[in-house]
Chains A and B, each alone.
Chain A
Amino acid sequence: MSDPRNEWPLWEVFIRGQHGLSHRHVGSLHAADAEGALKNARDVYTRRNEGLSIWVVEAAQITASSPSDKGPLYEPAESKVYRHPTFFDIPDEVGAM
């Protein structure tokens, strides 16, 4: 068995596809360091001009919400229907609003 400490760490890759769009997660890869991760990301995820800008983040640095908290985590939003414009009835005569 190989020593797991010798495995290159995992990086998550985010790419801005076009001007005006935010970076989007495209996948992950292994690299020894951040510069290596950027170079690998270019080769693995932008072979057809898919990106204008690349972010790499070491996967271990990401904190993720857990699917089992789904209920309690999002409950505050669920009970506030008045946050949506459709909650309010505006008479047709008023026009577009």
Chain B
Amino acid sequence: MYAQMVKSEASQEDPEKLAAFQKRIDANEKIEPKDWMPEGYRKTLIRQIGQHAHSEIVGQLPEGNWITRAPTLERKAILLAKVQDEAGHGLYLYCAAETLGVSRDELTEMLLDGRMKYSSIFNYPTLTWADMGAVGWLVDGAAIMNQVPLQRTSYGPYARAMVRICKEESFHQRQGFDIMMKMANGTPAQKQMAQDALNRIWFPALMMFGPSDKDSVHSSQSMAWKIKMNTNDELRQKFVDQTAPQAEYLGLTVPDETLAWNDEKGGYDFAEPDWSEFHDVIQGNGPCNADRLEARNRAWNDNAWVREGMMAHAAKKRAQKVAAQ
């Protein structure tokens, strides 16, 4: 999802302590920053929350691409507010990760030099205005699927960040669907643009949930620790079941000929995405990987003088205050 393929770490601690810890988790007690926790739990969470935070931050880029070209002033203001929310989500999550003993700068550096990942979805381009609709509808829709259960995750600061985020996500998905409705009911060319956006974003959106359960090797420990609440396939199925009728409502066609309601399982049958493409994008070879990392590195480097200047100014003011006393 926003955190795909997070490898969970094994723990080599005292079995008694581990058992007591697991008992707390099973009793749905929240684990708080100062509590004892297995090293593996701590490391896995840093990786997962960090990757989630990076996804929120890098996720601003494909949408930021259209802020100056939104078709109306109202759409522009809405998109700006949506992208600003994503920055906020990144900040909530970085703070949650920092409670585990990693610094903000370390997290940033691991994103910038590629040691930490962000969601594969943000390595695809946003080519037309309709993509703003499809991204809000599908990408934020997929994020919601994953984030709602994470509100019950075992790590207190992460769960609380998720509660804040979930409150804001529904606006994101609705503004996207609203764009899609306008386009789908517009001129034939506008409707075609909406269809084209759905065609391009459908499978990358399905990839957000991560590899199929049969190939997903790291899930069981994370599920026992309640830092992963559902399997990848469960969430993907839920997403398709919710989204396919919405596409129908729009009068658009999901780019999957095998998509069909299956009465017996009470859900849709659908085609899996091309997993070789997924792994390729994760490896850094997607259409926009280089652009995204370049943009983040540029922002970090070009604004270093602001960060340093603010610190120098704060130090100067502190010194003046002491001198005046």
Contacts and interface: CB of A to CB of B under 8 A. Distances in A.
A27 B161 contact: yes
Number of contact residues on B: which range applies? Answer: 20 to 34
A92 B84 CA distance: 60
B109 to A, nearest CB: 7
Contacts of B103: 4, 7
Contacts of B308: 6
Interface string A25-69: 011111011001000000110011000000000000000101110
Main secondary structure of the interface of A (DSSP, over half): mixed
Contact of B307 (A8, A26, A66): A8
A43 B47 CA distance: 26
B94 to A, nearest CB: 9
Nearest to A36: B310
A6 B98 CA distance: 16
Contact of A2 (B91, B109, B164): B109
B32 interface: yes
B10 to A, nearest CB: 24
B88 A30 contact: no
Interface stretch (B127-135, B146-154, B215-223, B311-319): B311-319
B105 A44 contact: no
Number of contact residues on A: which range applies? Answer: 20 to 34
Contact of B104 (A7, A33, A48): A7
Contact of A32 (B88, B105, B310): B310
B88 A44 contact: yes
Interface of A: 1-2, 4, 6-8, 10, 26-30, 32-33, 36, 43-44, 47-48, 64, 66-68
12 contacts: A2-B105, A6-B105, A6-B307, A28-B98, A32-B314, A33-B318, A36-B314, A43-B88, A64-B34, A66-B34, A67-B34, A67-B35
Given A27-B160, A47-B88, A64-B34, 7 more contacts: A6-B307, A8-B310, A32-B313, A33-B314, A44-B88, A48-B168, A67-B34
